[in-house]
Structure 1
């Protein structure tokens, strides 16, 4: 069975394709059990390979430099972080029926956290803050820039306006537009670039027994504005845990305002885009918009 498509011009990906890729490039693993992983992720299709590996295939071709970055930097950063991140094992090459590079990683156990269902949200907030603090404290010498982690709110205004126009009937568009205008008043980032994940959403976090057990999908990893990781506070944390998170990271008012704006525009862009093709992801986006509006008293 093929993976359901989320984007225009998306590759045809199926278990049969993955079996052919493995047989042609990694025959030592071709006989292992292969199971599609149901994930809210929107960039890659995942197949668990045996018990200890996962095949990760871009739904749309990615720059090979992104895969190079993961294979170079993840093994270097992993020992310095308080929870596991993916370990790249090897990379696959494009073929005639799959025109993109792809990778095999070590499997990380856990499940995605569900907003509103964390058994101890303040403790989880502290764990998430500890991961971000550790990542942002690492030496950035030679580190690649994160294009996603360097986007300013002003640069995202066109995307926000387009998303607002498409969101009537999905959210309170008037309130969201007001929140976005407030966000644009946040001071621009002019500080030192730090390591950022730049895509910290519930689908890229894993938990076990209510605790953060791993952080995955590091494709946007690089250096950028620290606020680009703080926006996770509105996509997963309830208000009281959000304050635990902010205090643990000692986030100033301007950076917090900028992070809230990033959370809003990311969610606004995702909601109408995925409302039909990925309703679970769209529902997370809707919840994020609502969290921002409540935070703003709108």
Structure 2
């Protein structure tokens, strides 16, 4: 089952043909589809050192190119400031071989994603995660501000989306209780100026070696946002004890902490119903995050 109605099929044969046509220097390298719970790209390894990312949802090629160029710049910027390894952009590919959009190539990072190597009980991982976020927060915004897209601005701007999520979640979740929670979250005031943020600190975007953070993926969204945005990682990735370690390490005050919880809530509500059949891992992650948030309020 595909995750999206407008999803584009990408196969190893298509990827191999694109590489032969556009990057013949890599044509002798093995092409392997990477098993992933990701919802935006299909990812293929090129040999041992590179990965190719193909947008899954059909869109205008020129618009996709603009997005990929912006993401490449953001990824390069994050890699320069992060205390932990992050992929670096290598090349942009063109449509061809039956694939209708541009695509990207970046370096490959070793490690196991946190969805498969659960670090949720590790205090050391919690400290690493806090150190990663702290290293982004001190990066220069260069006068940039939140762009107004997706999460990271005004909580109440997501009311329409949340209304849809509540409607779609009837029979799946305790919707009346969750509605009451959102009615409180959406009123939380914003006090801090934008800081540089990863923007999507979820298990599938975090690499683990042992019980330590070893790398961070999907860095193309790096940009200015609400300082509380990256605190979603506390709820997506950590149990209560390590979550407390994470909070103390970042010295979060009560308001910032609650706003981080609110952004995690907003994200999790959309995951449960949207991916319940097409991506059960993502749906289960959303449900687990909601349970952690609910438990923290009891």
**C-alpha distance in 1 between matches for 2:227 and 2:192:** 9
Cα distance in structure 2, aligned partners of 1:258 and 1:144: 18
Distance 1:191 1:99 in 2: 42
Residue 150 (structure 1) aligns with: 152
After TM superposition, the score normalised by the length of structure 1 is 0.92
Distance 1:116 1:5 in 2: 25
Which residue number in structure 2 is paired with residue 6 of structure 1?
Answer: 3
- The answer (yes or no) to whether the contact 1:175–1:293 under 8 Å persists in 2 is no
| CA distance in 1: counterparts of 2:197 and 2:187, whole angstroms | 23
Aligned-pair distance for 1:149?
4.5
Could you tell me how far apart the structure 1 residues matched to 2:116 and 2:20 are?
40
Cα distance between partner residues in 2 of 1:87 and 1:200: 18
Kindly tell me the number of residue pairs found equivalent between the two proteins: 293
Return 227-236 or 163-172, whichever deviates more: 163-172
Q: Is residue 33 of structure 2 the alignment partner of residue 32 of structure 1? A: no
Q: Which structure 1 residue ranges, 5 or more long, are not aligned? A: none
Deviation track 1:106-142 (CA, whole Å, cap 9, x = no partner) reads: 1101111149942752111110000000011011116
Question: 1:253 deviation in Å?
Answer: 1.4
Please list every run of 5 or more consecutive structure 2 residues that lacks an aligned counterpart in the other structure: none
CA contact (8 A) 1:32 1:49 kept: yes
170, 173, 182: which one aligns with 1:171: 173
- Does the C-alpha gap of structure 1 residues 50 and 116 become closer, same or farther in structure 2, counting only changes over 3 Å? closer
8 Å contact 1:116–1:236 — kept in the other structure?
A: no
Separation in structure 1 between the aligned mates of residue 270 and residue 71 of structure 2, nearest angstrom: 26
Deviation at 1:99, TM superposition (A): 2.2
What residue is the counterpart of 1:90 in the other structure? 91
CA RMSD in angstroms comes to 1.9
Partner Cα separation in structure 1 for residue 131 and residue 39 of structure 2? 26
Q: What's the counterpart of residue 274 of structure 2?
A: 273
Q: Distance in 1 between matches of 2:145 and 2:180?
A: 35
